Amino acid sequence: MRITVTVDGTQYTDDVEPRLLLVHYLRDRLGKVGTVVGCDTSNCGACTVLLDDRSVKSCSVLAVQADGHSVTTVEGLAENGNLHPVQEAFREKHALQCGFCTPGMIMATIDLLSENSDPSDEDVRHGLEGNLCRCTGYQNIVAAARDAAQRLRENPAATEEAAR
Amino acid sequence: MTSTVDPTTDEGVGESELGRARRRKEDEHLITGRTRWTDNIVLPGMLHAAILRSPVAHARITGLDVSEARGKPGVVAVYTGADLAEEQGSLPCAWPITEDMKTPNAPALAVDTVRFAGEAVAVVVARSPYEAHDALDSIDVDYEDLPVVLDLETAARDGDLVHPDLGTNVSATWVFDSAEAGSGGDVEDAIRDAEVIVERTFRQQRLIPAFMEPRSVVVDPTASQITMWSATQVPHVLKLMLAMTLGLPEHKLRVIAPDVGGGFGGKLQVTPEEVLTLLIARRLHKPVKYTETRSESMLAAHHGRDQVQKLTLAARRDGTVTGLKVELLADMGAYLRLVTPGVPILGAFMFNGIYKFGSYRFACTNVFTNKVPTDAYRGAGRPEATFAIERIMDELAVELSMDPLELREKNWIEHEEFPFDTVAGLTYDSGNYEAATAKARELFDYDELRREQAERRERNDPVQLGLGVSTFTEMCGLAPSRVLGSLSYGAGGWEHAAIRMLPTGKVEVVTGSSAHGQGHETAWSQIVADRLGIPFDDIEILHGDTQSSPRGLDTYGSRSLAVGGIAVVKAAEKVVAKARPIAAHLLECSEDDLDFEAGQFRVKGTAKSVGLTDVALAVFAAHDLPDGVEPNLDSEATYDPDNFSFPHGTHLCAIEVDTETGHARIRKYVCVDDVGHVVNPLIVEGQVHGGLAQGIAQALYEEAVHDESGTLLSSSFAEYLLPTAVDLPPFVTDRTDTPAPGNPLGVKGVGEAGTIASTPAVVNAVLDAVRPFGVTDVEMPCTPMRIWHALRDARGGTK
């Protein structure tokens, strides 16, 4: 099947098998290897991307379902060397160790903050429940999400820019 | 307060880089997705392998037909065990703990018998991963079931055998006896003379390391050297073992561990998948990639723990412990992997914990079962040991109606007694259990929580409060090589570092310690910045590639900083020593008149100075060097410590147990760890957090469960419960600082502390909550179902 997808601002048209998963399309066809595969049961969230600005686990979406839509991966966040506020917060708060869950965690956090601009610790923990991390014990991820929320509130322009 | 290190301020900022909460150098590429995971690697003409795995735990393969699969679209080749029988050898075990240890042949691809569900039976190589996986369905295998041996205690008594050719399921027995070793008395005497004896049997459930990045391996055989990329913790060990196992010339192999997404001991291995990918790539003369699925990872990557521990503790009525006897059964699984037999031995030296009782006997029996092999998992032996001693100390406290902290204080090694020769034959380097415990007690508000607990008990609150105590020490910094040798481990434990002074004054540091999330690039940069006075950002750390870093023994057992970091210090000292005569020559003074500080050689008492970077450029130009001086400031150093290092700490957990549902919720978790001096408090705290998550998970959530046929039921993240952000509490962490006397940084190691200490803290808390109802034990993980059943049984079967 022929699909047209905008990924990180660039439009791609490709013939794909109907069964091809979005995550494999991103990784193997487009070389967007920043998005990773951590499990085969949609439990870990490592492959989370934004599909039309809402987070999805790209291992549970077929590439053909993304036809006509836009996808944002972790590689599309930083612009001109400027990190997204969520990326900045993850670095500042030491919210990653091995970094494998991090792209998915960052994408899930962006979606969470788009719904709730000032989440409590509990809100963040519930909001990120679908993303597993084996290194951090989550505490610094929670701190990073709240720090990012503050950065975004203080600089709404960054929010809008990030959304584009 | 949930954190003692505020990442928004640079704690300890001063003249020294050491102790400073530097943001990690590693993070930029990881948060922007510019990562180098093994599975990201794409090579021209690369093929993809997929593995057919046994669905049964023990069977003879009576038929294996791959002809249809060979004709499937995109399929290039299909291999069976028979195809590779002659060249695959046996997967290595580097730790023969006894001379008569039974070591079964361990093929990477099963030849005629499968011995655990998940064992590799055939390999398909195709143009794409999808095509390779499609073709697996076309392979026809006939299995003739054999008796499945699963239960550890039954297996130990033999009967049905995992390896009939060995004639037994017992791989080895290993004993330490303090009377024989001369480190203490005879434990049977202590038991005979005891006023109180506590006997308990604890079960360490089987755990799955569950690193987030599934294992992946790419082999490129097309150049003169074969290059292997692998998601491994141990590129150097892997290279050596592949060479020795497969008869591959060592100089013809290069192993690269690029970004590695976690390990926790689970990637301290020479895997069947690495061997198979290498053999296949070599046969096909094409690059081949194999990346496991998560379910395959759970089935076929090694598991951890899985022991039954029978303890007998002897004591006096006043609480003084006089002896401990440990009889341990350890599940090896179906084969011995790299360090499988040694894991219980690592625990043998830690069963006495922080205590100074007079007699000790440890005996373990390593047993084969029809399950995937066990091997290292975060802490490897030490969490198991610490759990056992900390649980039974609580049982003794209950028996004597003593406060558990008071009982520990009565028995622990006091600050002024260090260095201390333990009954298990180690010399603990330093410690201050009093200080860590006092601090933890205060942060926890122990007395207030005890008051609340009494009130809840008094009013029969359906939600009861339990307080759990855990004190611990562990041996980090594995090395020393001579000790590892005395335990029959096949390799040393030293670590290597090299420093390359570049002409522009920048520095490349080569480390044999191969990181997978620990932040070596940041910490090693801080060490070199401190020792050489070179700016932090002017330092690059090279690791994880046996070509750029030819010598090393990799990363496990919290050895990186205490061994690898010290090698970096030694290499830096050599750079300064080499630069000194050149600086003296440039400044026209005697070497003795030079001070070196903050990157500058300065003539004592004058303003005349020359920077190390200037010396580096002068050395490169080599226009004006002292006679006979080699134009080179590069250095290398290999460090092998004299002793282990012994971090310690006190962990306190408050848990609320709903006695009507069995649900346990951690309300407060406080830990004070003493890991000696700290290079980067941000990294240290992160390591503690992650360790706590894994230790708490053993207490409450995680377990590899098999059905009676040996099928792994917890073979995905849907059934194997890694804790989520919702399941874990905020942690209150703090530190005391008792430096390691044995190394120039005073560092001890931190990676395993949280995991080791937290499991008994949580389980002790659960039991403390439900003891008034007559519950005396709850097996791990303490799920709501198990707690509820324990309460029901204690209440006489009625609710």
Q: For residue B391, is pLDDT > 80?
A: yes
Beta partners for residue B652, in sequence order = B469, B670
Chain B interface, best mutation among A48, A86, A134, A146, by max B CB count within 10 A:
A134
CB contact under 8 A, B130 and A132: no
A window 56-115, beta carbon within 8 A of B: 73-75, 77-78, 83, 87, 90-94, 96-103, 106
CB contact under 8 A, A41 and B717: yes
Q: For residue B2, is pLDDT > 50?
A: no
CB contact under 8 A, A137 and B731: yes
A155 band by pLDDT with thresholds 50, 70 and 90: confident
The DSSP bridge pattern shows strands B539-542 and B216-220 to be unpaired
Q: For residue B463, is pLDDT > 70?
A: yes
pLDDT tens per residue across span B192-243 = 999 999 999 999 999 999 999 999 999 999 999 999 999 999 999 999 999 9
CA-nearest residue to B681 within chain A is A94
From A83, A93, A125, residue closest to B7, measured CB to CB: A93
Q: Return the biggest CA–CA distance within chain A.
A: 45
CB contact under 8 A, A134 and B682: no
Taking contacts as CB-CB distances below 8 angstroms, the residues of chain A near B697 are: none
Residue with tokens 């949580």: B762
Quick check: ipTM above 0.85? yes
DSSP B781: S
From B8, B687, B730, residue closest to A121, measured CB to CB: B730
The DSSP bridge pattern shows strands B427-428 and B463-473 to be unpaired
CB contact under 8 A, A98 and B261: yes
Does the pTM surpass 0.90? The reply is: yes
CB contact under 8 A, A74 and B32: yes
B15 band by pLDDT with thresholds 50, 70 and 90: low
pLDDT tens per residue across span B106-130 = 999 999 999 999 999 999 999 999 9
CA-nearest residue to B730 within chain A is A139
Structure tokens at A16: 């794909």
CA-nearest residue to A147 within chain B is B8
User: How many interchain CB pairs under 8 A, A with B?
Assistant: 185
DSSP per position, B232-253: -S-HHHHHHHHHHHHT--GGGE
The DSSP bridge pattern shows strands A48-51 and A70-72 to be antiparallel
pLDDT tens per residue across span A22-45 = 999 999 999 999 999 999 999 999
> For residues A25 and B1, which has the higher predicted lDDT (pLDDT)?
A25
B762-786 burial, b if ≥16 CB within 10 A, otherwise e? bbbbbbbbbbeeebeebebbbbeeb
* Contact indicator for A39, B296 with CB cutoff of 8 Å: no
CA-nearest residue to A139 within chain B is B730
CB contact under 8 A, A44 and B34: no
Tell me the mean pLDDT in the region A115-141: 98
What's residue B3's pLDDT?
A: 41
pLDDT tens per residue across span B377-389 = 999 999 999 999 9
CB contact under 8 A, B7 and A140: yes
From A19, A40, A132, residue closest to B724, measured CB to CB: A132
Chain A interface, best mutation among B23, B28, B30, B734, by max A CB count within 10 A:
B30
Cα separation, B448 vs B425, in Å, equals 39
CB contact under 8 A, B31 and A90: yes
Phi, psi of B22 (to 5 degrees): -65, 135
Give the contacts of B441 (CB within 8 A, at least 6 positions apart).
B405, B650, B652
Q: For residue A79, is pLDDT > 70?
A: yes
Strand stretches in B86-169, DSSP E = 113-114, 120-126, 140-145
What's residue B13's pLDDT?
A: 42
User: Which amino acid, one-letter code, is at A40?
Assistant: D
What's residue B10's pLDDT?
A: 46
Chain A interface, best mutation among B10, B28, B32, by max A CB count within 10 A:
B32
Q: What angle do CA B200, B204, B205 make, to 5 degrees?
A: 135
pLDDT tens per residue across span B661-680 = 999 999 999 999 999 999 99
Taking contacts as CB-CB distances below 8 angstroms, the residues of chain B near A128 are: 724-725
Q: In angstroms, what separates the C-alpha of A16 from chain B's closest C-alpha?
A: 13
